[in-house]
Chains A and B, each alone.
Chain A
Amino acid sequence: DVKVTQSSRYLVKRTGEKVFLECVQDMDHENMFWYRQDPGLGLRLIYFSYDVKMKEKGDIPEGYSVSREKKERFSLILESASTNQTSMYLCATHSTGGDDEQFFGPGTRLTVL
C-alpha cells in the first residue's frame, strides 16, 4: 500500500512566521502535489513536482514555495505566513508508470493567528 505521511495533523503559527509543511511517501512515486482545501472552494493546486529538484506552479502559488531535494520528500514553505493561509493542506503522490489515481496524505490543518 502507498503510504503518504505529513509532518503534522494540526499546526498553529503566527503571522509573519516561516512555516514548513513536510510530505513523505514510501512508494517511489515520481510526481508529488500540494493542495489547499477551503470550504466552498474545493481542492486547489499550489505546486507540484515531477522529479527531484523540479517544480511547477499550480493555480495558486503566490505566497508559497516548495522544495524537493529527495524523491520521497516534498516540502511546502510559507515564507511569511498570513491569516489568509489558514487552511487544510493536502499532499498527494502519483506514479507515472502506474495507475492514474493520486494518493493523498492525511492533511495538515494550519491556523495562522
Chain B
Amino acid sequence: GQNIDQPTEMTATEGAIVQINCTYQTSGFNGLFWYQQHAGEAPTFLSYNVLDGLEEKGRFSSFLSRSKGYSYLLLKELQMKDSASYLCAVSFDRGSTLGRLYFGRGTQLTVWP
C-alpha cells in the first residue's frame, strides 16, 4: 500500500558502493525507515529520516527528499555480510502516533567476492 517502490534485486562486489532507491507517495508523509533483513531472520532497524538530507551512520547512509517522495540507502565498502534484503518503510501522519508503517517489498542485495 501507499505506493512504496524499490527495486527487487541488486548485485554488487565486495568493496564497492551500492545505492538502493525507494519512492513513495508524498501525501501525508511523516518519516521513512530502512531495515535490514538477513534470510530467515527478523528485520533490524538501520535508519530513520524525517528531514531532507543525508544521515550518515558508519558505512551506511540514508538520504531523503520529502518534496520528491524519494529516499536512498547508500552502502559503502561492501562486505559479504551485507548480503540481505533491505526494506524501505514509511509512516504517514494518520498512523504515525500508533507506529504504523507501510513497507516496500524489499530489495534483495547480493554481494559477490
* Residues of chain A having any CB pair with chain B under 8 Å: 31, 33, 40-45, 48, 50, 56, 59, 90, 94-96, 99-107
30 A-B contacts (beta carbon < 8 Å): A31-B98, A33-B99, A33-B100, A40-B8, A41-B105, A42-B103, A42-B106, A43-B43, A43-B103, A43-B106, A48-B98, A50-B98, A56-B98, A90-B42, A90-B43, A94-B99, A95-B99, A96-B97, A99-B48, A100-B31, A100-B48, A100-B91, A101-B48, A102-B33, A102-B101, A106-B41, A106-B42, A107-B40, A107-B41, A107-B42
Q: For the complex, is B1 an interface residue (Cβ under 8 Å from A)? A: yes
Q: For the complex, is B87 an interface residue (Cβ under 8 Å from A)? A: yes
| B window 32-75: CB within 8 A of A | 33, 40-45, 48
Given contacts A41-B105, A100-B31, A101-B33, contact A48 B44 (CB under 8 A): no
> Which residues of chain B have C-beta atoms less than 8 A from A33's C-beta?
99-100
* Cα-based distance from A25 to B101 in the complex (angstroms): 19
* Least CB separation from A94: chain B residue: B99
> Which residues of chain B have C-beta atoms less than 8 A from A107's C-beta?
40-42
- The list of the 10 closest CB pairs from A to B, nearest first, reads A94-B99, A42-B105, A104-B42, A43-B103, A31-B99, A101-B45, A50-B98, A104-B43, A42-B103, A106-B42
What 0/1 readout, one digit per residue, does chain B (86-101) give for beta carbons within 8 Å of chain A? Answer: 0101010000111111
